[in-house]
Amino acid sequence: MTDQQRFEQLVLAKHPCVQIVTYEEDYALQTVRHAAVANGWDCWMWTVTGGLRDALLENSAAVADTEHPAAALYHLCEGRGGKRGLFVMLDLAGHLKDERTLRTLREAIAKLGGSGCTLVLIDQNDEVPPVVKATTTRMEISFPDEQELTEIVKRTLREVNDERRIQVSLNKRELDVVVRNLRGLTRRQARQVIIDSVAHDRRFDADDINHILSLKRQALGAVGLLDFVEAPTSLDEIGGLRRMKEWLCSRQDALSDEAGEFGIPPPRGVLMLGVQGAGKSLAAKAVATAWKRPLLRMDVGALYDKFIGESERKLRDALRQAEMMSPIVLWIDEIEKAFASAAAQSSDGGLSKRMFGTLLTWMQEHRAPVFLIATANDIEALPPELLRKGRFDEIFFVDLPGLDARAQIFEIHLKKRKREPKHFDVALLAQESAGFSGAEIEQSVISALHDAFASKQELKTEHILSALKTSPPLSVTMSEKVAELREWAQGRCVPAD
């Protein structure tokens, strides 16, 4: 169903109060107005700046002395005569700290519900008292689908062209790519991205596809929940992880429509446990690289909010947005820290447990091709429910790199610094770096570069060997922890290399 149809269904079912929490106020208002016109309902709207006025008449006069929300609510309750109507109040949540306004709202909900009318609260936050939440029905505004996004692109280009002539040169396939890149954005964001794409050269063609993706990253970054992450262009840039690479290659096209038609369900995800710095984050990027899918990292820290219920809403919104952008790879880094209190006695009022429960429900029930990658360092902090069979397609253990993998890692980082590996004794470096993680190997190369530059010499094997000797690896300083981790992983996880 469309948003308008879902809203009409709530009104016809005589829900006395419908709450819409969204940043897309214009779209929410449009949905309510269209429903009122389609069904012949009255529609009134209140704002603190304009008071109460007819929402269906442009520039209608405000009812006198209704700027205060309590006065507007009192007026709405009088003289309805049983006629069905919609009463929209914008940004009311902040006014409910006033006891008189809260009391009047509760009485209005009770009275309007009995008369067949519906109060619609449109706000950008969810900060309403629990007593109000108990009597309201929440309605989520959907993200636009591909058909609606296509219409938004065409309509926006027409509007821009009416203001000032532009050149549009796109075939059907290129338009489909543009629309696919807009998935996961709100209607306002999608429209603005198209306008920004045209503004600099007054053209809209295939060259704008990458620009649109860049603008989309900026739009998502502003929200602070999902961040685009640049992945390596080739698996050759990632050393080791042999078994995991083979697993990925065998499922390379598992997120495609063809795989679904063949009867293959979309893979759900993988959990990566391992030694800190061993390359779990790089392994997450390897998935996006192997499958040529966008990689989005969820910033779980940005999800937590001081207001009751707001954190859970943000998590649901982020997961819903990820589904709209599918097929993608979704990465939650250090998941044990994100839901730290979910595995123990909660000290946050049960928030972590509720957030974790929301994530588990989504993992079990979502059908969109979103591949989840969760990385973790501390096994003891992980809730046991997360490790249950069926949550993930596979659990990989990312150990410290072996001899061959260390040689590959040295070669990769030497090439990144514009050095030919054949000019170095890579075999000796790999042998002398036993116990070093991939991150520590990279730092040894960087440290050696600093030493060589300071002594005005070209980088040599000796500089790197010296850097390795002066910096003991984590596997030495935390040997007991690493040994415990390896012991736990044996028989429980698949080695990534």
- Strands 295-298 and 226-228, bridge-based pairing: antiparallel
| Residue whose C-alpha is closest to residue 190's, from 200, 178, 199, 202 | 178
Give the C-alpha distances (Å, rounded to integers) separating 467 from 88, 188, 403, 462: 67, 52, 18, 9
Backbone angles phi, psi at 43, to 5 degrees: -145, 115
Intra-chain end-to-end CA distance of the chain, in Å: 47
* Most confidently predicted of 152-161, 218-227, 466-475: 152-161
> What share of the chain in percent tops pLDDT 90?
26
DSSP 23-44: S-HHHHHHHHHHHHHHHT-EEE
d(C-alpha 85, C-alpha 36), whole Å = 8
> What share of the chain in percent tops pLDDT 70?
92
d(C-alpha 193, C-alpha 213), whole Å = 9
* Most confidently predicted of 180-184, 215-219, 336-340, 411-415: 411-415
- Strands 51-54 and 370-376, bridge-based pairing: unpaired
Question: Reduced to 3 states, what is the DSSP secondary structure of residue 21?
Answer: strand
**Contact 416/254 with Cβ under 8 angstroms?**
no
- Strands 51-54 and 167-169, bridge-based pairing: unpaired
Task: Give the model confidence (pLDDT) of 109-153 as tens digits.
Answer: 888 777 778 999 999 887 888 888 888 999 988 888 889 999 999
Instruction: Report the length, in residues, of the chain.
Output: 497
Of 43-47, 193-197, 474-478, the poorest mean pLDDT is in 474-478
pLDDT of residue 81: 47
Question: Reduced to 3 states, what is the DSSP secondary structure of residue 459?
Answer: coil
Task: Give the model confidence (pLDDT) of 318-354 as tens digits.
Answer: 888 788 777 788 998 888 776 655 555 455 556 777 7
Burial of residue 456 (number of CB atoms within 10 Å: 0-12, 13-18, 19+)? exposed
pLDDT of residue 307: 52
d(C-alpha 273, C-alpha 276), whole Å = 9
- In the chain the domains, ranked by start, together with CATH numbers, are 3-138 (3.40.50.300), 146-223 (1.10.8.60), 235-398 (3.40.50.300), 403-477 (1.10.8.60)
Q: What is the mean pLDDT of the chain?
A: 83
What mean pLDDT do residues 420-433 have? Answer: 91
Q: Which residue in the block uniquely carries the two structure tokens 């939440």?
A: 133
Residue 15 has pLDDT above 70, yes or no: yes
**Contact 58/65 with Cβ under 8 angstroms?**
no
Q: What is the DSSP letter of 277?
A: T
Task: Give the model confidence (pLDDT) of 368-423 as tens digits.
Answer: 888 888 888 777 777 777 777 677 888 888 888 888 888 989 999 999 888 999 99
Residue 10 has pLDDT above 90, yes or no: yes
Question: Reduced to 3 states, what is the DSSP secondary structure of residue 238?
Answer: coil
